[in-house]
Amino acid sequence: MATHKTRMLIIGSGPAGLSAAIYGARAMMEPIVVQGLQPGGQLTITTDVENYPGFKDVIQGPWLMQEMEAQAVHVGTRMMWDTIVDVDLSGSPFRAIGDSGDIYEGDTLVIATGAQAKWLGVPGEMELGGKGVSACATCDGFFYRGKKVAVIGGGNTAVEEALYLTNHSDDVTLIHRRDELRSEKILQERLFANPKIKVLWNKAVDRFVGDPLSGGLTHLALRDTVTGETSDFAADGAFVAIGHAPATELFKGKLPVDEGGYLIVEPGTPKTAIPGVFACGDVMDHTYRQAVTAAGTGCMAALDAERFLSGLSIDLMGHAEKAEAI
């Protein structure tokens, strides 16, 4: 068991956390990144990435995250292979306890724990992930130009995904397990008015069918939620759009969250309700959820952490105290 001290502690190692680390390291804050259960974040389970600025050719998500981590380490970040199981935000230095038993102390804390797409949990879903099954139309819709696609869900996320996909496909089907949508009325009006979108009511997906090694998804095995009748629905791509779950369990009761569980920040900033504690990336962003926006808020968190520390003096024990005016 050991205690690790830093001027900037970062929990999470996706684009937000690593961007914060790069900026923090360049500001000589010697950041520590605790990587968590999914080092590299959601991009490590994404194959083709075509919308991250700076690359004219398609790149691979895991490769991009390896490069980000290498850059962060190169400029002075310490990467720790651990998972945080508890935090103490009662005052600076902020403390985080790892599953290893190690303690991490930071004069500032950057929360970049991200969010995970909710999945149906049916056979074929994980096996065909990136091979016809996705949870992000904005990320992957481009690969289905002119093809037949399905969206599963009935809330705002599903309707927004279906509408977005009409930019690429003339054959979009929304599959919903009930007989009415839960999305906002204005979104429903746009959906029903779009000639490229059809709706299958009272249908649940029992299985995604296809060959991950050749061709990918071929069809969805459906079940009627009223009659129990089964059927097959042919599709080239299927987008699971039943929402996202931000990784905020650690901070429940310690930081304010909205009704969706996302950390609440001061509008236009990564500042949480506790001075010196910042949140960036998908853990506070339920609107955009893109790698590039996560990286941008990570940069903002590091810059704000540096400004926060500029009003503090660090004593010899590594604790932060307000600098007295001379």
Per-residue pLDDT at 312: 63
Q: Is the dihedral of CA 175, 179, 184, 187 positive or negative?
A: positive
> CA 300 to CA 257: how far, in whole Å?
20
The residue annotated as part of the active site, out of 107, 140, 236, 285, is 140
Per-residue pLDDT at 317: 41
CB 4 within 8 A of CB 102: yes
Per-residue pLDDT at 206: 97
Per-residue pLDDT at 231: 97
Residue 280 annotated among the catalytic residues of the structure: no
The residue annotated as part of the active site, out of 102, 136, 171, 206, is 136
H helix intervals, 56-155 = 61-74, 137-140
Max Cα distance, the chain (Å): 79
pLDDT mean for each 10 residues of the chain (326 residues) = 96 96 97 86 72 89 93 97 95 95 97 90 94 88 94 92 94 97 93 98 98 94 97 97 89 94 96 97 90 96 96 51 43
Per-residue pLDDT at 163: 94
The residue annotated as part of the active site, out of 82, 107, 139, 282, is 139
Buried-state track 253-264, b at ≥16 Cβ within 10 A, e below 16: ebbebeeebbbe
